[in-house]
């Protein structure tokens, strides 16, 4: 065993290959690294002396030969005969922030103090140095709240006694409350029991299947539909946060008419620096000042209108407009919806334009050039063993992100080379080590670190301008140099690729020599099982279509087409928008060719570039109708805004991939005076005289079945009190009135379309009623499952497309030089395109890469920032494509020195009380070139704004490790030689509990535990959102996060290792470890926390007196103290927000410690069920919320007393306990991170 001193830079190598090639030059290349690395490591990283001291006892232990045995005991696994396992300790120099890496004394001070808890971040010395004066007047407010409000102890006591006296005088019984039963109880409802409905998520157009838990007619939790082919039971963070959108008090309460041009701006104007730099959103004011009574009410401008009146007006306007009318929507798919829109537009003779914030124009152009037909292919990430991305982020911004996340994460898990499940691989590893195991390899070429890049084994930063040449160089290497693939002898291809010799491209792009050759060789090695992916905002240069054409070429050449890429059988329909159509529409509007426009499901006033000048174009349209759940930026420019419904309130259908049909059914009656978009279309068309939406009542039995919808108010979506399923299942009483024409609502319309198009077309056996009820229960209809899985015949690639791309690539446009930056827009997976902008969960859950919340920022390389003298808190001003913007900078490791990125989806101005003015809107910075929208590659100059300081909230910097190795990693190659590679031998302290190590806790029945596979964790934060939703975890606001008071029960820690330019990443989900010898328990003076009979460290809120000793003594920093009544405040915002609360979980009050408890309410429910059935709880009988939603199944949960539990079997020899030396005996076993960095062989060796 060799202990490497901490300051050796060997650990900084990106790949072995790089190391071999560039050992000599690695240091001179990195002056910044040397300077930073040489700084005294006061931040807690062990210096050489400490490492040497630590080495001695470990060596002794090894001589005693009890290393592996001790390890086995430590993990609680069965004795594992890890073949020749030997601890080979690396020195993971973990760091989380640049301040820590640089050895900032403030970090050491914070680490020593453990908790931030400083109410004045802006004035704290050292850690957040102030440059100039603060633009943020938040500090005094914070100080006033935190015990410095002038109320001293004596006053407080005097007041409390007075209050007590008054309370005694006015004593009564507890407040009287009422029990109100149903008048007519629906048969499927038992008060207090949950019902579950299958539906389809409507938060984005990828349309994943959901199972919605409703209690007493209100949905409270979503989980993935485990049978749905798209998401297979998983839900992303946005899906989990859906109820904050549904129950949002800021939704538009009723339809309104506006005076165009006279709509008052939202509370604070976008020009105000106060809002632009979002020192405090209204929510934060709310928290900070405590002025709960003065929350500004949501002001709805305009005047309310009645539905009948407005339908007439719209119908008349659309009649008048005729062919000059336009229906502008976001992506809409699903047979009934598509047909309805077709019938509607046909009836009025109007045009339908589809536009979203992110559109596949470039992808379609590349596919059309390559294959003749433009489709968005379906990518099988679950079959890809090698993924190469070019400026793309499929995990954050794919057409079907959850499907990609599922596949990507599963392929990251170790498996036997012969196949099988990851659990089988773990079991095999216990016997034979990891010898024959494999995992996927991910290589990313990108300008700045994306979520996919975060998970890449090898990451290369290149400028957006260089993405296309590098892709062509890979093709050159593959076809011309290595003479591989079916195109090797194609003269057109070789001629086109001739100018892109890797050596020159690598030099120009700043890549290490040999990178291209290695990538090409590895891709060929994994041919038929690889994936080249190049769709994303950061790849959206003027040559994005050419890049897509080259990516398509690579996929074809590597035989991935038809294997991992399906463009023939079941392509994706999840992205149908078109930038070109939208820009053409803008031109038409400017030319006065549009007389009336109906806009739904898209927000062009917010998402279009400034150069498109949408507001001015729309002003030329005489009549504008916007349908939306809230009054958004586009709605403010309209004549009338109609209230539409949330996905949980409406009927609908979806066809996310060709041949996969998914159904949307309501789980709650509309909360506001709203009407579904589809029902509005029907009502408007009927008002204008359309007859195809009428139905004959009681004409034929078939029609009666179709008419099973309950009588609802004119056109209103049915489904009161979440009993949609029963209504559909039980035929309605036949109305008495004979043959009368009645409006058909969309519920009946869907049934009609599904009956004729699906039930009839696919010749389903059984009756229509059975089919419909079955689909309602299942949530989807997948008649072509086998064909869809087969991915179809490979399409043949036209070499001319490659030639055109290669020709176009010769002119890559301007490159940044010196202090210039190539600017790219990027997407955060949480905020997406900004449509969830008022969702507090998504604003507070940190960005996976930067870990910054409540803001977006310009990410620049730390080295460049250092050269330019930029510090934390600086604000830059810049101009891109004619739009000017100010935004704070973030020094983000892994960004190209000449690249800068800014996330879109922030800076909403009209979304609601929470989201207005949070962050800055980056969409206007995109460029318009012809009919193309350019999101990447603009050359900009960033100018620091003097005298402005802006503090970002970064929860990852709220705690620091004192050089402890909490997250471990190794490489696949090392692991295959040694099953214990990278693992740290446990040198356990003596426990203060009984018997010198084991307490007197015994767990005769169940002992709940968890296994977390760090390989599979992709950092998406879905677990955080699920935990928030399940456990009523409150949101605290930016200022509270800044002082370290975030309340997350689970978080994903992101650690960097290596040099700061392009570090390696370790993602580690961190939650309460449910220790057997819990150190938090032994310090609680009131025994409010204790290990229960099943090994869970329970927190008894009503017993807790808030000493915070436990939080202090817990080494994992997972206990959260409720400084204010965060939960109560959050839900005091107004009705109906409190309906989102889980009634099975106590809403914690102020002054109480809280933390993860493995979803105790679910454990209790499982116990009750097992007691009633008289059988023990089976393995997998219930799931924790985080485990249930994890898109990559990184979390296993089960009974540690059951060796056959899947969770126990997933514990392979690479498991470790976090801080095992503290001897807390945690119940969570982490499987250390394995990087797939193969030893590079040259082309000759491979052959």
720 binds other proteins (CB under 8 A): no
Cβ-based nearer residue to other proteins, 176 or 299: 176
Binder of other proteins out of 42, 764, 1145, 1243 (CB under 8 A): 1145
Query: DSSP class of residue 612?
Result: G
Binder of other proteins out of 341, 724, 1160, 1190 (CB under 8 A): 1160
Cβ-based nearer residue to other proteins, 106 or 712: 712
Binder of other proteins out of 24, 170, 179, 765 (CB under 8 A): 179
Q: CA 324 to CA 326: how far, in whole Å?
A: 7
Within 10 angstroms of residue 737's Cβ, the number of other Cβ atoms is 9
**Residue 671: CB minimum distance to other proteins, A:** 19
User: Residue 264 CA to chain centroid, in angstroms?
Assistant: 34
Tell me the H-state helices in 572-648. Answer: 579-590, 604-607, 614-619
Cβ-based nearer residue to other proteins, 79 or 165: 165
CB 21 within 8 A of CB 518: no
1144 binds other proteins (CB under 8 A): yes
192 binds other proteins (CB under 8 A): yes
The region of 78-86, 88-96, 692-700, 1160-1168 touching other proteins under the rule CB under 8 A is: 1160-1168
The region of 325-333, 492-500, 845-853, 1156-1164 touching other proteins under the rule CB under 8 A is: 1156-1164
Binder of other proteins out of 24, 65, 133, 168 (CB under 8 A): 168
188 binds other proteins (CB under 8 A): no
Cβ-based nearer residue to other proteins, 181 or 738: 181
3-class SS letters over 1127-1150: HHHHHCCCCCHHHHCCCCCCCCCC
1110 binds other proteins (CB under 8 A): no
Cβ-based nearer residue to other proteins, 753 or 1110: 1110
Angle CA 1221–1222–1228, to nearest 5: 85
Residue with tokens 């206990």: 1119
Burial class of residue 613, CB neighbours in 10 A (0-12, 13-18, 19+): middle
Dihedral sign of CA atoms 692, 694, 696, 702 in order: positive
CB 549 within 8 A of CB 370: yes
Cβ-based nearer residue to other proteins, 483 or 994: 994
Cβ-based nearer residue to other proteins, 192 or 297: 192
The region of 190-198, 440-448, 1036-1044, 1209-1217 touching other proteins under the rule CB under 8 A is: 190-198
Q: Could you check whether the bond before residue 1136 is cis, i.e. omega within 30 degrees of 0? A: yes
Query: DSSP class of residue 949?
Result: B
**Residue 1088: CB minimum distance to other proteins, A:** 9
190 binds other proteins (CB under 8 A): yes
1164 binds other proteins (CB under 8 A): yes
* Concatenated DSSP letters of 762-783: TT-SS-HHHHHHHHHHHSEE-T
Binding mask 117-156 for other proteins (x = CB under 8 A): ----------------------------------------
**Residue 1007: CB minimum distance to other proteins, A:** 12
998 binds other proteins (CB under 8 A): no
The region of 229-237, 818-826, 910-918, 1084-1092 touching other proteins under the rule CB under 8 A is: 1084-1092
169 binds other proteins (CB under 8 A): no
**Residue 637: CB minimum distance to other proteins, A:** 42
Q: CA 1153 to CA 1213: how far, in whole Å?
A: 35
Q: CA 601 to CA 835: how far, in whole Å?
A: 9
Binder of other proteins out of 2, 133, 184, 817 (CB under 8 A): 184
**Residue 1035: CB minimum distance to other proteins, A:** 20
The region of 287-295, 373-381, 805-813, 1155-1163 touching other proteins under the rule CB under 8 A is: 1155-1163
Q: CA 886 to CA 875: how far, in whole Å?
A: 7
CA-derived radius of gyration, the chain: 30
The region of 412-420, 496-504, 1140-1148, 1186-1194 touching other proteins under the rule CB under 8 A is: 1140-1148
Measure Cα distances from 92 to 13, 59, 969, 1064, 1117 in Å.
Answer: 12, 19, 8, 10, 20
Count residues contacting other proteins (CB under 8 A)?
Answer: 52
**Residue 213: CB minimum distance to other proteins, A:** 14
The region of 123-131, 284-292, 414-422, 1094-1102 touching other proteins under the rule CB under 8 A is: 1094-1102
20 binds other proteins (CB under 8 A): no
Cβ-based nearer residue to other proteins, 133 or 184: 184
CB 43 within 8 A of CB 107: yes
Q: CA 469 to CA 1023: how far, in whole Å?
A: 38
**Residue 181: CB minimum distance to other proteins, A:** 4
737 binds other proteins (CB under 8 A): no
326 binds other proteins (CB under 8 A): no
Q: CA 742 to CA 946: how far, in whole Å?
A: 67
733 binds other proteins (CB under 8 A): no
173 binds other proteins (CB under 8 A): yes
Burial class of residue 1000, CB neighbours in 10 A (0-12, 13-18, 19+): exposed
Binder of other proteins out of 1094, 1193, 1202, 1217 (CB under 8 A): 1094
**Residue 1167: CB minimum distance to other proteins, A:** 8
1101 binds other proteins (CB under 8 A): yes
Binder of other proteins out of 185, 346, 489, 1242 (CB under 8 A): 185
Burial class of residue 567, CB neighbours in 10 A (0-12, 13-18, 19+): buried
Binder of other proteins out of 1146, 1201, 1221, 1246 (CB under 8 A): 1146
Q: CA 717 to CA 671: how far, in whole Å?
A: 11
Query: DSSP class of residue 10?
Result: G
Which contacts (CB < 8 Å, 24+ apart) does range 1078-1082 have? 1078/1114, 1078/1224, 1079/1113, 1079/1114, 1079/1115, 1079/1222, 1079/1224, 1080/1109, 1080/1110, 1080/1111, 1080/1113, 1080/1114, 1080/1119, 1081/1110, 1082/992, 1082/993, 1082/1113
Binding mask 270-309 for other proteins (x = CB under 8 A): ----------------------------------------
Write the CB contacts of 635 (distance below 8 Å, at least 6 apart in sequence): 252, 626, 628, 641, 910
**Residue 1090: CB minimum distance to other proteins, A:** 6
Q: CA 481 to CA 502: how far, in whole Å?
A: 9
1093 binds other proteins (CB under 8 A): yes
Query: DSSP class of residue 835?
Result: T
Which residue, 245, 299, 291, 290, is CA-closest to 268?
A: 299
**Residue 193: CB minimum distance to other proteins, A:** 5
1103 binds other proteins (CB under 8 A): yes
Name the region of 380 (left: φ>0; alpha: ψ -120 to 50; beta: rest): beta
**Residue 779: CB minimum distance to other proteins, A:** 24
194-200 and 209-215 beta bridge pairing? antiparallel
Task: Tell me the three state secondary structure of residue 581.
Answer: helix
161 binds other proteins (CB under 8 A): yes
Binder of other proteins out of 106, 316, 1100, 1166 (CB under 8 A): 1100
- Binding-site ranges for other proteins (CB under 8 A): 157, 161, 164-165, 167-168, 171, 173-174, 176-185, 190-193, 1000-1002, 1004, 1087, 1090-1094, 1096, 1098, 1100-1103, 1144-1147, 1157, 1160-1161, 1163-1164, 1167-1168, 1171-1172
């Amino acid at each position: 065993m060799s202990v490497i001193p901490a300051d050796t830079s060997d650990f900084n190598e990106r790949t072995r290959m790089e190391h071999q090639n560039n050992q000599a030059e690695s240091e001179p290349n990195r002056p910044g690294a040397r300077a930073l690395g040489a700084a005294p490591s006061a931040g807690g990283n062990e210096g050489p002396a400490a490492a040497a001291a630590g080495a001695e006892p470990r060596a002794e232990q090894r001589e005693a030969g009890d290393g592996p045995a001790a390890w086995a005991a430590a993990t609680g696994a069965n004795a594992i005969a890890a073949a020749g396992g030997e601890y080979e300790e690396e020195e993971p120099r973990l760091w989380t922030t640049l301040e820590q890496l640089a050895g900032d004394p403030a970090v050491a001070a914070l680490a020593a103090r453990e908790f931030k808890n400083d109410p004045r971040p802006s004035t704290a010395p050292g850690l957040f140095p102030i440059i100039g004066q603060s633009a943020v007047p938040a500090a005094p407010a914070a100080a006033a709240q935190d015990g410095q409000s002038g109320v001293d102890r004596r006053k407080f006591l005097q007041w409390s006694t007075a209050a007590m006296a008054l309370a005694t005088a006015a004593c009564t019984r507890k407040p009287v409350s009422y029990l109100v039963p149903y008048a007519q109880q629906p048969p499927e409802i038992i008060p207090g029991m949950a019902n579950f409905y299958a539906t389809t998520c409507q938060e984005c157009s990828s349309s994943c299947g959901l199972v919605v838990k409703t209690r007493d007619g209100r949905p409270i939790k979503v989980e993935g539909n485990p049978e749905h082919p798209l998401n297979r039971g998983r839900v992303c963070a946005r899906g989990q946060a859906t109820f904050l959108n549904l129950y949002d008090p800021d939704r538009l309460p009723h339809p309104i008419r506006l005076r165009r041009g006279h709509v008052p701006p939202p509370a604070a104007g976008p020009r105000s620096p106060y809002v632009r730099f979002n020192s405090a959103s209204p929510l934060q004011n709310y928290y900070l000042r405590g002025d709960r009574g003065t929350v500004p009410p949501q002001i709805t401008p305009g005047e309310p209108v009645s539905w009948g009146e407005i339908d007439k007006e719209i119908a008349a306007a659309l009649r008048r407009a005729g062919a000059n009318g336009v229906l502008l929507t976001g992506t809409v798919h699903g047979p009934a919806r598509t047909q309805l829109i077709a019938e509607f537009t046909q009836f009025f003779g109007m045009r339908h334009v589809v536009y979203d914030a992110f559109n596949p124009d470039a992808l379609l152009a590349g596919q059309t050039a390559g294959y003749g037909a433009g489709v968005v292919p379906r990518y099988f990430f679950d079959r890809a063993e090698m993924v190469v991305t070019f400026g793309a982020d499929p995990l954050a911004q794919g057409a079907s992100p959850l499907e990609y996340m599922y596949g990507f994460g599963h392929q990251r898990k170790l498996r036997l080379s012969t196949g099988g499940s990851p659990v089988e691989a773990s079991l095999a590893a216990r016997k034979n080590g990891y010898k024959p195991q494999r995992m996927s390899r991910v290589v990313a070429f990108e300008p700045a670190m994306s979520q996919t890049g975060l998970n890449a084994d090898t990451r290369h930063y290149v400028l957006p301008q260089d993405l296309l040449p590098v892709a062509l160089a890979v093709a050159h290497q593959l076809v011309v140099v290595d003479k591989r693939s079916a195109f090797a002898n194609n003269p057109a291809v070789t001629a086109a690729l001739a100018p892109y010799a890797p050596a020159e491209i690598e030099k120009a792009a700043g890549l290490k020599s040999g990178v291209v050759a290695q990538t090409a060789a590895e891709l060929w090695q994994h041919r038929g099982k690889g994936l080249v992916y190049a769709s994303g905002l950061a790849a959206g240069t003027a040559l994005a279509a050419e890049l897509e054409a080259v990516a398509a070429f690579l996929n074809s050449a590597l035989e991935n087409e038809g294997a991992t890429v399906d463009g023939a059988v079941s392509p994706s329909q999840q992205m149908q928008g078109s930038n070109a159509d939208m820009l053409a529409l803008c031109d038409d509007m400017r030319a006065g060719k549009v007389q009336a426009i109906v806009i739904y499901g898209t927000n062009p006033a917010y998402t279009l570039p400034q150069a498109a000048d949408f507001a001015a174009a729309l002003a030329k349209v005489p009549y504008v109708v916007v349908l939306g759940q809230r009054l958004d930026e586009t709605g403010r420019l309209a004549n009338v805004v109609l209230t539409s419904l949330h996905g949980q309130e409406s009927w609908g259908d979806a066809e996310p991939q060709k041949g996969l049909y998914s159904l949307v059914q309501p789980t709650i009656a509309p909360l506001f005076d709203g009407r579904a978009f589809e029902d509005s279309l029907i009502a408007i068309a009927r008002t204008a005289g359309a007859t195809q939406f009428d139905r004959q009542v009681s004409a034929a039995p078939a029609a009666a079945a179709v008419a099973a919808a309950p009588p609802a108010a004119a056109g209103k979506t049915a489904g009161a009190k979440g009993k949609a399923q029963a209504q559909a299942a039980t035929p309605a009483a036949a109305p008495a009135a004979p043959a009368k024409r009645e409006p058909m609502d969309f519920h009946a319309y869907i049934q009609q379309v599904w009956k004729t198009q699906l039930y009839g077309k696919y010749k389903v056996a059984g009756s229509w009623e059975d089919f419909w009820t079955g689909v309602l229960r299942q949530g989807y209809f997948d008649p072509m499952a086998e064909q869809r899985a087969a991915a179809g015949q490979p399409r043949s690639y036209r070499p001319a497309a490659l030639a055109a791309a290669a020709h176009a690539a010769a002119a890559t446009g301007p490159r940044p030089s010196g202090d210039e930056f190539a600017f790219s827009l990027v997407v955060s997976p949480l905020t997406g395109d900004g449509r969830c902008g008022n969702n507090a969960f998504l604003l507070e859950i940190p960005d996976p890469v930067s870990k910054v919340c409540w803001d977006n920022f310009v990410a620049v390389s730390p080295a460049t920032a250092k050269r330019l003298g930029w510090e934390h808190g600086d604000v830059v001003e810049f101009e891109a494509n004619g739009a000017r913007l100010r935004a704070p900078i973030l020094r983000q490791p892994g960004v190209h020195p000449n690249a800068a990125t800014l996330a879109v989806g922030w800076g909403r101005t009209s979304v609601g009380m929470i989201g207005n003015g949070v962050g800055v809107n980056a969409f206007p910075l995109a460029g318009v070139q012809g009919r193309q929208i350019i999101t990447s590659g603009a050359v900009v100059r960033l100018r620091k704004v003097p005298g402005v300081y802006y503090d970002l909230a970064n929860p990852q910097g709220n705690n620091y490790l004192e050089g402890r190795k909490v997250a471990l990693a190794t490489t696949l190659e090392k692991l295959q030689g040694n099953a214990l590679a990278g693992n740290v031998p446990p040198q356990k302290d003596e426990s203060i509990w009984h018997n010198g190590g084991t307490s007197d806790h015994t767990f005769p029945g169940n002992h709940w535990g968890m296994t977390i596979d760090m390989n599979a964790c992709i950092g998406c934060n879905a677990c955080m959102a699920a935990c928030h939703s399940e456990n009523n975890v409150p949101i605290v606001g930016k200022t509270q996060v800044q002082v370290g008071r975030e309340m997350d029960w689970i978080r994903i820690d992101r650690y960097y290792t290596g040099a700061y330019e392009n570090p390696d990443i370790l993602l580690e989900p961190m939650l309460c470890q449910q220790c057997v010898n819990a150190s938090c328990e032994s310090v609680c003076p009131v025994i409010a926390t204790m290990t229960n009979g099943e090994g869970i460290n329970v927190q008894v809120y009503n017993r807790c007196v808030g000493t915070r000793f436990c939080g202090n003594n817990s080494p994992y920093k997972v206990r959260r103290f409720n400084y204010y009544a965060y939960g109560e405040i959050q839900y005091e915002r107004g009705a109906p927000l409190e309906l989102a609360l889980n009634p099975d979980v106590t809403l914690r009050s102020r002054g109480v410690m809280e933390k993860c408890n493995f979803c105790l309410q679910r454990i209790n429910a499982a116990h009750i069920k097992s007691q009633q059935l008289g059988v023990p709880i089976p393995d997998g009988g219930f799931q924790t919320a985080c485990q249930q939603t994890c898109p990559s199944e990184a979390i296993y949960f089960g009974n540690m007393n059951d060796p056959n539990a899947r969770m126990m079997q997933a514990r392979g020899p690479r498991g470790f306990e976090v801080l095992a030396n503290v001897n807390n005996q945690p119940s969570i076993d982490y499987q250390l991170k394995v990087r797939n960095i193969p030893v590079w062989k040259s082309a000759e060796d491979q052959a």
